[in-house]
Amino acid sequence: MSKIESILACALVSGAALLMTSCSDNARFVGTWNGISPVDMSVRMPDVVRATSVVSVDFTLNQHKTGGPIGLSGKLDVVKSLPGDSASSGVPYQLSIPAMASVRGVWTYDIDDDDDLLVNLDMSSLKVTVDHEGVRWLGNVPSAGADSLAAVTAATCERELSHAAYTDFSRFTVINDVDVDKSGSKMSFVIHSPEAEIYFVKAATE
């Protein structure tokens, strides 16, 4: 190896080490964060009155400090409208359906900017579960078959939510402008399709 090649090789090694140190120093976002920004999902579920998701995120740093596992979980709140009848004077019934969604993946730093992250989600790990105990009627309750109607509607909604959650979590595959405040207790970053800045608070450690 020539002297010039040796110098270039050393420079590359030093640069890589410096980048890894910089990324490690800036990895203040590692940990579990609870979302405080509801994301509107109704555009992906047009037959609902309301559909929102509050996403929490868990970042883990691997031993090489180049990235690591990530877990996303969403607290979903859906209100579906069902046709009214004579008992409700034609006013539609509304059913509140709470659910949870989760998915796992791996994050890495964007080589161009260490406050931007690239996320590879394993969509085969996607799980959506309706809280059947929490399903409830809002306002008027059907006079006949209310429980069975609620159960059938919740089961149908669970399938619809799986598709909506898939699309919603896909917005996290590129994360920009990760910012943790000086206290280390608040974080924000930008997701896309459509672009939105969302906010988190650090989860309490036991």
- pTM for this entry: 0.83
Give the pair of three-digit tokens for residue 90: 């034609």
* More confidently predicted of 84 and 118: 118
- Identify residue 204 by its one-letter amino acid code: A
User: What's residue 4's pLDDT?
Assistant: 53
What distance in Å separates the CA atoms of residue 82 and residue 89, rounded to the nearest whole number? 13
Please report the DSSP string for 75-119 in residue order.
Answer: EEEEEEEE---GGGTTPPEEEEEEEEEEEEEEEEEETTEEEEEEE
User: What's residue 20's pLDDT?
Assistant: 45
Please, which pLDDT band fits residue 206 given cuts at 50, 70 and 90?
Answer: low
The sign of the dihedral angle between the CA atoms of 154, 130, 203, 123 is negative
Number of CB atoms found within 10 A of residue 74's CB: 24
pLDDT value at 124 more than 50 = yes
User: What's residue 74's pLDDT?
Assistant: 96
What residue spans of the chain are helical by DSSP H?
3-26, 146-170
Number of CB atoms found within 10 A of residue 49's CB: 15
Phi, psi at 144, each rounded to 5°: -135, 135
What distance in Å separates the CA atoms of residue 180 and residue 187, rounded to the nearest whole number? 4
Over residues 69-113, the pLDDT tens digits come to 999 999 999 999 999 877 778 889 999 999 999 999 999 999 888
pLDDT value at 17 more than 70 = no
What distance in Å separates the CA atoms of residue 45 and residue 3, rounded to the nearest whole number? 63
Over residues 125-176, the pLDDT tens digits come to 999 999 999 999 999 999 889 999 999 999 999 999 999 999 999 999 999 9
Over residues 182-199, the pLDDT tens digits come to 999 999 999 999 899 999
CA dihedral 122→174→100→124, nearest 10 degrees, is: -10
User: What's residue 14's pLDDT?
Assistant: 45
Q: At which residue do the structure tokens 């998915």 appear?
A: 103
User: What's residue 26's pLDDT?
Assistant: 61
